[in-house]
Structure 1
Amino acid sequence: MTERRNIYFYARKTEQAKEHLRMLEELAERYHFNVVQDYKIANIIVSLGGDGAFLQAVRKTGFRQDCLYAGVSDSGKKSLYCDFHVDDVSSMIEAMTQDQIEIRKYPTIKVTVDDETSFHCLNEFSIRSGIIKTFVMDVHIDDLHFETFRGDGMIISTPTGSSAYNKSVGGAVVDPMLPCMQVSELASVNSNRFRTLGSSFILSGQRKLRLSVTQDGNDYPVMGLDNEALGISHVHHVDLVLSDQIVKTVKLKDNSFWEKVKRTFL
């Protein structure tokens, strides 16, 4: 990190966050980092908060490809994207000065709605019925019509996102070193008319997934991009691919993805 000196902090607008932010800015300046107020000129972007703050920091700064992202937790414990804790300044200093930091590259999903608007997700994309009624989607893998889904919705997650919303609905936790997408169902209806796989499935990073929404009055689904909602009416289809854009994150050498999973769930 020695050649990266412009650092931008992303934090919530609370009094506690402001106090922690002042401490982090002073620490950064003490070790000869330049604290900048414009993320566009930063080459290190640091979120203060939990995983939600980290996801927002990545999204609000445009999934920058030319900088590093780091997460600092203020919740009392480390998390998936936060290797540092605001109350443990000594470990931050030790990591920065004794070369204990590694760079991890996490894949993202590119989401395109009706061939017009594109977005990126670091954790997952979710699509759910916008009213109290199931909705129907045709699921295509590449050019193959795979199934017709009826139910509450679907979650398409990255490997890092596999331990979040995806896991809560029975999906598998996937190693981030595997470039792939995982598709998980939300309350599917299986009958003589509608039949789905009934389990999560994993697609290679070379595959393309299309979800075509049946226009039956329930064509205003609630779509989620990580922890942010997206509202678009009369959605016809959504295309998803593993993006060539990655998020480069700072992590400690002794804090791998699987160590984080163990710490969180076991």
Structure 2
Amino acid sequence: MMRVAIYSNLVQLSNNVAERLKAEIDQSEKLVLDSLNPEIVISVGGDGTLLSAFHHYADISDRIRLVGIHTGHLGFYTDWRDYEVDELIASLENDNGQSETYPLLDITINYRDGGSADHALALNESTIKQVSGTLTADVYIKDQKFESFRGDGLCISTPSGSTAYNKSVGGAIINPALNALQISEISSINNRVFRTLGSPIIIPPEEWVRIVPEEGGQPVLTCDQQVISGRPIKTIEYRIAKQRVAFAQYRHTHFWQRVSNSFIGVQDD
């Protein structure tokens, strides 16, 4: 029997869908509920809920596949609607291991206090910002200094995360079929004294990015929706992770169709 976990937000509609899923799984001869060691994790809510589900199961994320049911606006990670529970259960019962995988962002943080480094994986993005005032940081690409950044912050995103916060700060949208990461500036300062590239940068998988914040600053580092640490940061290194996130692919919506549906709307033929 295939082991299934359900991860829901606190919205009443999502809870109703989650209860219906549990009832259907209890009656199934091919599925069993298992929140501790699942093979499939069903997220009920939106993209934010799915991000939370991914991090909740981060320790076993290389052994699970995700499925998203959206109970609100259309999302990039949620293929199913709240009224399609029966269809989803049927797909789970006829599962043959089909999946689609997306790149993840590998983050390594070293601290000025000399303590142990932290490590995290991001499905969407990581940001670094200053608590107050201007963030000043040196940016290295493959250990070669590229620029000294001054501004509100930097956003480093995955291809699937390129449609999220990255897009709102002027980053490019990247198809997740490309194994790359992207750096986008957040309100950079550009004048006669300070100068940055002023454009998003797309980094291939064989290269990496290292950010060195100015000593004495108080940068805040995030990984998807989570603040990683308040300790003084020495360096942050970003790479495309060797591990990828897997989604159970029972139906296929072309990536650019998702982009069109979400940002442009229904188009006439």
- Normalization by structure 2: what TM-score? 0.89
Give the direction of change, closer, same or farther, for the CA distance of 1:149–1:108 in structure 2 (3 Å limit). same
The equivalent position to 2:70 in structure 1, one of 59, 65, 73, is 73
Residue identity opposite 2:15 in structure 1: K
Per-residue CA distance 1:58-84 (angstroms, 9 max, x = gap): 001116111211111111x43100001
Q: Percent identity?
A: 29
Structure 1 residue 86 corresponds to structure 2 residue 82: yes
Partner of 2:5: 8
Superposed, which structure 2 residues align to 1:217-232 within 5 Å?
A: 217-218=216-217, 220-232=218-230
Partner of 1:104: 100
Partner of 1:137: 137
- The separation in 2 between residues aligned to 1:253 and 1:17, in whole angstroms, is 21
Superposed, which structure 2 residues align to 1:234-245 within 5 Å?
A: 234-245=232-243
Residue identity opposite 1:82 in structure 2: T
- The separation in 2 between residues aligned to 1:91 and 1:227, in whole angstroms, is 31
Partner of 1:117: 118
Asked whether the 8 Å contact 2:143–2:210 carries over to 1, the reply is no
Query: RMSD value over aligned CA atoms?
Result: 2.0
Asked whether the 8 Å contact 2:179–2:204 carries over to 1, the reply is yes
Partner of 1:127: 128
Give the direction of change, closer, same or farther, for the CA distance of 1:176–1:199 in structure 2 (3 Å limit). same
Asked whether the 8 Å contact 2:185–2:198 carries over to 1, the reply is yes
TM-fit CA distance, 1:252: 4.1
Partner of 2:263: 265
Partner of 2:114: none
Partner of 2:151: 151
- The separation in 2 between residues aligned to 1:60 and 1:257, in whole angstroms, is 26
- The separation in 1 between residues aligned to 2:156 and 2:89, in whole angstroms, is 37
How many correspondences in the alignment?
Answer: 257
Partner of 1:58: 54
Asked whether the 8 Å contact 2:91–2:250 carries over to 1, the reply is yes
- The separation in 2 between residues aligned to 1:96 and 1:46, in whole angstroms, is 10
TM-fit CA distance, 1:95: 3.9
Partner of 2:267: none
Per-residue CA distance 1:88-147 (angstroms, 9 max, x = gap): 22432454467799511011111111171111100001111111x112100000121000
- The separation in 1 between residues aligned to 2:7 and 2:204, in whole angstroms, is 33
- The separation in 1 between residues aligned to 2:27 and 2:253, in whole angstroms, is 26
- The separation in 1 between residues aligned to 2:165 and 2:243, in whole angstroms, is 22
Per-residue CA distance 1:171-230 (angstroms, 9 max, x = gap): 111010100000000011112332111100100011110000011x32x21222111222
Partner of 1:18: 15
- The separation in 1 between residues aligned to 2:66 and 2:47, in whole angstroms, is 12
- The separation in 1 between residues aligned to 2:13 and 2:258, in whole angstroms, is 26
The equivalent position to 2:31 in structure 1, one of 19, 33, 42, is 33
- The separation in 2 between residues aligned to 1:97 and 1:19, in whole angstroms, is 21
TM-fit CA distance, 1:13: 4.1
Partner of 2:203: 203
- The separation in 1 between residues aligned to 2:97 and 2:78, in whole angstroms, is 13
- The separation in 2 between residues aligned to 1:24 and 1:142, in whole angstroms, is 47
- The separation in 2 between residues aligned to 1:58 and 1:93, in whole angstroms, is 21
Asked whether the 8 Å contact 1:70–1:82 carries over to 2, the reply is yes
TM-fit CA distance, 1:16: 4.2
- Normalization by structure 1: what TM-score? 0.90
TM-fit CA distance, 1:18: 3.1
Partner of 1:249: 247
TM-fit CA distance, 1:253: 3.2
Asked whether the 8 Å contact 2:46–2:71 carries over to 1, the reply is yes
Residue identity opposite 1:227 in structure 2: Q
